[in-house]
Chain A
Amino acid sequence: MAILRYLGGRLLFLVPQMVGIVLVGFILIKAVPGDPATLMLGPMATPDSIAKLRGDLGLDKPVTTQFLIYLKKLAHGDFGTSWQTTQPVLEDLKVRFPATLELVTFGLLLALAIGIPLGIVSAVRKTGFLAKLGDSYGLVAGALPDFWLALILIYVFYSVLGWVSSPIGRIDITMVPPTATGFYTLGSLLEGNWAAFRSSIQHLVLPVATLGLINAGPILKMTQSTMQRMLQSDFSEYERLCGLPERLVMRHALRNALPSVVTIVSVLYGFLIGGAVLVEIVFSWGGAGQYAVQGVLNSDFNPVLGFVIFSALFSLVVYFTVDLVYLAIDPRIRH
């Protein structure tokens, strides 16, 4: 019961934070110079039609009232309309958010596949190539601009070697994208469409490699430092003294290092929804981050606010899930 109360308390705490996020986003948008009604109707509009649209949009009311109207619409799932795509923002995000999520999820899985084993090895070995690699990997990966690494990968694997198809979008433009789930890989598998599956994997490889290689850095560093601490701790010493095989000592140390790895993964997951935007742009991925950036650059602000709310919500869901995961992997928290 104590657990439920704790989680409930956390959920309650999130409400004011969400309102704060919407408020800051709203203020930012209101601070942008330029009248949205004029922008929407273009330079040929008559003053009458502009005034009418201003009235329809509620722009003639005080800002506080406008904010309340916006909140009310949000509560009904109305994020406004994007004038670039002329579609409701919610409909746009329904397509684009899964695109980002697919990219980020696979990128993070690759980062885990690189970071955890390397982190463990470099925690155990003090000398040798792998230890050196583990020590410097984090610093190097943190210094590489992701959009530049993406370009290098495109140059090597597309322009020179020709191993992947043209690095634009999520699937060949001639193909009909699978509709099941928002993930093209999963969707095409479910529909049994092998050609679409192959094409979507081909398009995923480079952006996922970019994100995976760079984000393996923090995961590696966290795994390494926690593993080192665990292997030097009293319980590991005791196990060694009792004569347990080193493999078992390692396994127990890893088990105890897991919570901090889960933490860094959750932080990265939330961060990457917005942080992968440069990679999305390089590969014309059509994801949510790219949608938001194009919105800012073209004074189309409903998508921006919609994206910010979506990604904040997503981060909250991730953190909430992670709390549950802690409960599952660390019995001490349950007490």
Chain B
Amino acid sequence: MPPAQASSSAAPSPHAARRSARARSEFALRYFVQLLRTHPGYAAGYLIVVIVSAVAVGAPLVAPHSPITADLSVYLQPPSISHPFGTDGTGMDVFSRVIFAPRVDLVIAMIGTVISAVIGIAFGAWGGYFHETSGPRGFLSNSMMRAADVIQAFPVFVFAIALVAVIGQSIASVVFAVAFVNIPIYLRLMRSQALSIRRMRYVEAAFVSGMSDLVIVRRHILPNAIAPALAHLSVNVGWSILLTAGLSFVGAGVRAPTPEWGSMIAMGFPNVMTGQWWPSVFPGLALAVTVYGFALIGASIEFMADPRRRRALANAAAPAPQAKS
């Protein structure tokens, strides 16, 4: 039975349903804690993302200097107590800029990913449901997939830069480019799920009982097909951060002096050649650790999605006095 129906269908009493729901969420929580305890790496992933987000929110409180004020009297200072990560070629404090950067990188990556997921999931479910049906809707569904083929045949990075060039360089257009190149992934994930689900008995039953296509897609296809797409979100955010930083690195994304990891690495590039490593190394390190955190969360979701490994862990997480008859 599709989860969306669980509450409205004939449960013995609403009270019992609520209690079992609470028991289930309690079990999920205990199971999650068990997962983090047995796999400290995953816990580190969640910790990294929480810390980076907290630092981004509280950046003005943490940063010792202004992230965009150049003080030429202290340019290219190595790391010291007043400048923990040193200063860059224009005398800006690298530490403060690294702290402020996730405000740009994280926000662009998250908004971009969410937009692409919403569009890709909606159209993917719709396209999978109408795949190879006759009439204009089937035709539209197929054309949509061919369009996705073409988009994916483009080299991602060049395509993203071209998109930014077309709509003009700004943070909004970087978000647009990130969202656009990611849509086909969700489209495919969702469509392949929808293709198998639409053959299920409960979908047929819904159709026979006279539900409209739109309601079937919303009530049955969407909730049952969405898991793989949601599981991809975390990895995708990390990947989008890399894309944003890459765009800014070549000068097609966020422009200096706005603190952003990719453009900071680019600004420090000439200094690295002459031996001053800090203006580039620290932002890159922050970037890599953040992406790594999102990748670890993605790996933990992948772990939980694997029924065999989940069962093994659930057995360990279940309360001990479970009588086995």
Contact = CB atoms under 8 A, between A and B. Distances in A.
Interface in B133-181: 146-147, 149-151, 153-159, 161-163, 165-166, 168
Interface string B273-313: 11101001100100111011001100100000000000000
A278 B249 contact: yes
B153 A315 contact: yes
Interface string B220-250: 0000000000000000001000100110011
A31 B166 contact: yes
Nearest to B160: A296
A179 B41 CA distance: 51
A68 interface: no
Interface in A135-173: 136, 139-140, 142-145, 147-148, 151-152, 154-155, 158-160, 167
B55 interface: no
A110 interface: no
A293 B287 contact: no
A297 interface: yes
A23 B163 CA distance: 15
A308 B158 contact: yes
B250 A278 contact: yes
Contact of A160 (B163, B275, B296): B275
B217 interface: no
A114 interface: no
A20 B284 contact: no
B236 to A, nearest CB: 12
A118 interface: no
A143 B165 contact: no
B85 to A, nearest CB: 15
Nearest to A273: B155
A265 interface: no
Contacts, number: 138
Interface in A17-66: 17, 20-21, 23-25, 28, 31-33
A139 B41 CA distance: 11
Given A20-B146, A145-B245, A296-B252, A289 B296 contact: no
Q: From DSSP, what is the main secondary structure of chain B's interface residues? A: helix
B316 interface: no
B75 interface: no
B157 A274 contact: yes
B143 to A, nearest CB: 10
B147 to A, nearest CB: 8
A100 to B, nearest CB: 11
Given A159-B272, A278-B246, A296 B155 contact: no
A308 B155 contact: yes
Contacts of B251: 297
A21 B153 contact: yes
B166 A28 contact: yes
Residue with the greatest number of chain A CB neighbours at <10 A, chosen from B157, B168, B265: B157
In the complex, which range does the number of interface residues on chain A fall in? Answer: 35 or more
Given A17-B149, A147-B265, A155-B272, A289 B155 contact: yes
Nearest to B242: A145
A24 B277 CA distance: 41
A275 interface: yes
Given A17-B150, A277-B158, A304-B162, A139 B272 contact: no
Contacts of B262: 145
B155 A275 contact: yes
Given A277-B158, A297-B251, A308-B158, 5 more contacts: A28-B162, A151-B272, A152-B281, A167-B273, A296-B165
25 contacts: A23-B150, A24-B150, A31-B166, A33-B168, A136-B41, A145-B242, A145-B291, A147-B246, A151-B269, A151-B281, A159-B274, A271-B156, A274-B154, A277-B157, A277-B158, A289-B157, A289-B158, A293-B250, A293-B252, A296-B165, A296-B252, A297-B165, A299-B165, A307-B158, A312-B154
Interface of B: 41, 146-147, 149-151, 153-159, 161-163, 165-166, 168, 238, 242, 245-246, 249-252, 262, 265, 268-269, 272-275, 277, 280-281, 284, 287-289, 291-292, 295-296, 299
What are the 4 tightest A-B residue pairs by CB atom distance, in nearest-first order?
A274-B155, A148-B284, A143-B292, A143-B291
Interface of A: 16-17, 20-21, 23-25, 28, 31-33, 136, 139-140, 142-145, 147-148, 151-152, 154-155, 158-160, 167, 271, 273-275, 277-278, 281-282, 289, 292-293, 296-297, 299, 304, 307-308, 311-312, 315
